[in-house]
Amino acid sequence: QRLAEIYDSVLDICRRYQPEALSIEKLYYQHNQTTVIGVAEARGVILLAAAKCGVPIYEYTPMQVKQAITGYGKAVKKQIQEMTRMMLHLETIPKPDDTADALGMAIAHCHCSRSRLMGTQPR
């Protein structure tokens, strides 16, 4: 049920706003297999919906996002959130954290798509 909701939501967003690109974090595995499986499933339906709408997909590692936003690939989450807040001229850091992460990913894509220094290409 949840995956269908995600798929339908992404299709709706694509149809409503006609985005030029979708940027998404590259999947990486740390320690929790249960978490990575759920993330992979959600990520898969997001990628499928974007592809169905013809939206180019760009993938970035967490280090690439940190580098693009702060200039330092090993920045901590709070630094990224604060730089995102400053770059977007916001009074406070967006909440929940996922919102700040998504905005950071979008900023990173803007930087990368202009400079191509990070060698990203559509998926």
pLDDT in tens, 10-46: 999 999 999 999 999 998 766 777 788 888 999 999 9
**Sign of the alpha-carbon torsion through 32, 73, 64, 98:** positive
pLDDT in tens, 104-123: 999 999 888 765 444 555 56
121 located within any domain: no
70 located within any domain: yes
Task: Pick from 33-37, 48-52, 60-64, 116-120 the range whose average pLDDT is largest.
Answer: 48-52
Q: Which domain holds residue 38?
A: 2-115
The pTM of the full predicted model, rounded to 2 decimals, is 0.81
Q: Using an 8 Å Cβ cutoff, are 39 and 4 in contact?
A: no
Instruction: Give the orientation angle of helix 62-70 with respect to helix 97-115, to 10 degrees.
Output: 80
120 located within any domain: no
Helices (H), the chain: 2-17, 33-52, 62-70, 77-87, 97-115
Total domains present in the chain: 1
Those residues whose C-beta lies under 8 Å from the C-beta of residue 35, and which sit 6 or more positions away, are none
pLDDT at 117: 44
pLDDT at 34: 75
pLDDT at 121: 57
Which CATH number belongs to the domain containing residue 88 in this structure?
A: 3.30.420.10
